[in-house]
């Protein structure tokens, strides 16, 4: 688009500090090669000098390439698209129409954040390398560019000038904070994010680098001798020593899980803040890599309230929105990861959804669906029991039989917690017992309704209702055909009765 004087759009470069940040990141990537060279030549007199030389060459090469890429990369805001030209030897021009851009988000890794820079990501919905990004702009430039692209996508050109991408002087009403987590809340959340996945990583690393340790960590006898060394007092404990060792190992695993859960939570959700602005919901979070996502209200398609086995007992829940934009490769945007229902309900209402009330007519799916699923799983275990009994150990055949019985009882029990309800404007889907989940969808925003039926379902009288939802999926499994047709009729009536041109953004 031409500027205020009617001139053609001028290509712009990203922030000059961007190639400096890229050079520092290249130096970071050179640390491991430096350490590898230094370790491999540790017995040589010039090992340290060679390692430093490798690091210097990598830094110079990375910095030089970053400068050349910065010099050769330009972006242009046209009347209908954004155009990016890049390439040092071979040139490439990428044009993305504004109407194809689903959302614009800002991301700050640690090094660019130190320089006050952001990476602008244009999400087209294609995924992978088809996504467009600009690295790096200043924070004000990135925020203003996001506003300009969104305004032009929505056909609004008079409220934001192209000069705002340089000055960042977009005026808007002050935001209101909907949800935030202080340090105490963050650490409490980390305790519930207990994870033993890091244990497998530590064990794998120990197995790969066990040659660096003075003893074999997988030798129980060695550990026993090590514990018995101080005065020889522990070597006579016998079974008691084994119990102490097992308890100590369990305590160590629990501590590793707690520390890893807190560490993961702090890195991901540090400074978590959800605000309501004139443009929609703005969420910022992250310690080393900080993300800044804005979700216009009209792009929020559904809401999901989740909890966990333990956190439910303490009244903690999480809230996420199903949005047209992508968040770390998924359509779910976490807007309140750890809060009470009293804190989540205002956010749900701000997104133009209503929490379920006590007058809803909740209906369950077909008990036959759950029973059939359990019986099919058990049908695999019963032949296994017969094979085990044929080996001459009939008592072992009880394990598969008990497993089949457990699956059957579990399926019938969980049926009680699979439910759905319809309000004049919304569809509610609840599931789960220990960790229940509630999905809330606006009937108007559902894009399609499909009823499917398997061979067993036709015989037993239940169907699956698939609901098309931009940015995500929803489904009701194992409901009666009459209920499915009732839901489909109500949803389609809401869609056909709506004039979408009159819907407010």
Residue boundaries of the structural domains of the chain: 17-171, 197-268, 363-502
Q: Could you read off the pLDDT of 125-148 as tens digits, one per residue?
A: 655 455 788 988 999 999 889 888
Is the backbone peptide bond immediately before 132 cis, with ω within 30 degrees of 0? no
pLDDT at residue number 160: 43
pLDDT tens digit string along 35-48?
666 666 666 666 66
Inter-residue contact 502 to 298 (CB < 8 Å): no
CATH code assigned to 17-171: 2.30.29
CATH of domain 363-502: 2.30.29.30
Q: Which residues contact 296 (CB under 8 A, 6 or more apart)?
A: 150, 279, 280, 281, 505
pLDDT for position 47: 61
Q: What is the pLDDT of residue 86?
A: 87
pLDDT of amino acid 147: 85
- pLDDT at position 200 is 66
pLDDT of residue 119: 92
| Residue ranges of the chain whose pLDDT lies below 70 | 1-8, 30-48, 50-51, 125-130, 154-173, 196-242, 245, 324-331, 385, 388-389, 391-397, 471, 498-505
pLDDT value at position 165?
A: 47
Cβ neighbours for 31, distance < 8 A, ≥ 6 positions apart: 55
pTM over 0.95: no
The pLDDT assigned to 283 comes to 93
CA distances from 181 to 94, 189, 314, 317, 422 (A): 40, 10, 17, 13, 33
Give residue 94's pLDDT: 87
């Amino acid at each position: 688009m031409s500027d205020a004087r009617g001139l053609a759009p001028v290509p712009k470069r990203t922030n000059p500090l961007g190639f400096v940040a890229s050079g520092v990141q290249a130096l970071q990537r050179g640390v491991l090669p430096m350490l590898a060279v230094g370790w491999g030549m540790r017995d040589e007199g010039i090992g340290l000098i060679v390692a430093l030389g490798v690091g210097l060459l990598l830094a110079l090469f990375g910095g030089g390439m970053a400068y050349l890429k910065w010099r050769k990369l330009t972006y242009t805001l046209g009347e209908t698209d954004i155009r990016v030209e890049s390439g040092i030897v071979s040139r490439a021009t990428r044009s993305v129409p504004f109407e194809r851009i689903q959302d614009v988000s800002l991301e700050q890794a640690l090094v660019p954040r130190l320089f006050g820079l952001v990476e602008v990501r244009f999400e087209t919905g294609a995924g992978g390398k088809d996504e467009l990004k600009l690295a790096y702009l200043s924070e004000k430039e990135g925020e203003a560019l996001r506003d300009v692209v969104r305004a032009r996508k929505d056909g609004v050109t008079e409220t934001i000038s192209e000069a705002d991408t340089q000055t960042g002087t977009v005026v808007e009403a002050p935001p209101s904070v909907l949800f935030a987590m202080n340090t105490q809340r963050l650490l409490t959340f980390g305790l519930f994010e207990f994870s033993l996945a890091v244990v497998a990583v530590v064990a794998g690393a120990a197995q790969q680098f066990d040659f660096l340790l003075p003893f074999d960590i997988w030798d129980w006898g060695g550990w026993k001798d090590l514990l018995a060394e101080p005065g020889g007092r522990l070597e006579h404990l016998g079974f008691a020593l084994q119990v102490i060792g097992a308890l100590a190992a369990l305590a160590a695993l629990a501590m590793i899980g707690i520390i890893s859960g807190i560490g993961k939570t702090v890195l991901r959700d540090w400074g978590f803040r959800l605000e309501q602005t004139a443009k929609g919901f703005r969420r910022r979070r992250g310690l080393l890599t900080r993300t800044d996502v804005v979700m216009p209200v009209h792009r929020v398609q559904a809401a999901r309230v989740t909890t966990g086995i333990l956190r439910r007992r303490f009244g903690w829940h999480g809230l996420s929105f199903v949005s047209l934009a992508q968040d770390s490769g998924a359509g779910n945007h976490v807007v309140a990861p750890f809060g009470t229902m009293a804190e989540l309900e205002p956010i749900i209402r701000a997104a133009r959804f209503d929490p379920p009330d006590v007058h809803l007519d909740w209906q369950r799916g077909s008990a036959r669906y759950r029973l059939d699923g359990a019986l099919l799983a058990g049908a695999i275990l019963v032949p296994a029991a017969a094979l085990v009994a044929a080996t001459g150990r009939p008592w072992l055949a009880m394990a598969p039989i008990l497993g089949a019985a457990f699956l059957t009882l579990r399926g019938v029990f969980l049926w009680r917690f699979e439910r759905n309800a319809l309000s004049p404007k919304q569809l509610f889907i609840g599931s789960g017992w220990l960790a229940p989940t509630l999905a809330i969808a606006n009937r108007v925003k559902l894009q399609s309704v499909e009823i499917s039926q398997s061979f067993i379902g036709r015989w037993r009288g239940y169907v699956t209702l698939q609901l098309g939802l931009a940015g995500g999926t929803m489904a009701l499994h194992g409901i009666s055909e009459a209920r499915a047709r009732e839901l489909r009729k109500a949803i389609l009536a809401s869609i056909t009765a709506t004039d979408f041109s009159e819907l407010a953004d």
